[in-house]
Amino acid sequence: QVQLVESGGGLVQAGGSLSLSCAASGGSFSKYSMAWFRQAPGKEREFVATIVWSGVSTIYADSVKGRFTISRDNDKNMAYLQMTRLKPDDTAVYYCAASDSFGVWPSHKYDYWGQGTQVTVSS
């Protein structure tokens, strides 16, 4: 059983940057692929980025490609999402998730979820 806790959300102006963290505990973090999803009010939860267990491969949603960077530190049981050039459309609750498979999967395929952290981008 893996517990995930996100942190780092907040309010930022458009064009600014924000870094999210996801702390994992209770399981073998290094065997899981990690992902970030987001959910805006009234919208479905959507995939943002994922990173394989070793960190050597990543996949991004087209909407964040070139602006967001996902990374991980297996020694610290941490995953990160560095967000730059933020836009008002990036406003959402951001969730980290763990899966035993690497790829872009529907949210129900992920085994473990954090509680989410709010990111608000003002125009």
pLDDT, mean of each 10-residue run, the chain (123 residues): 95 98 92 96 96 95 98 97 98 96 88 96 96
Supply the pLDDT for residue 120. Answer: 98
Residue 91, helix vs strand vs coil: coil
The span from the CA of 59 to the CA of 48, in Å, is 8
66: which 2 tokens?
A: 């070139």
Q: The tokens of 87 are what? A: 């836009």
- Name the nearest CA neighbour of 94 among 54, 14, 34, 52: 34
Specify the pLDDT at position 94. Answer: 98
Looking at residue 27, what is its pLDDT?
A: 80
What pLDDT score does 105 carry?
85
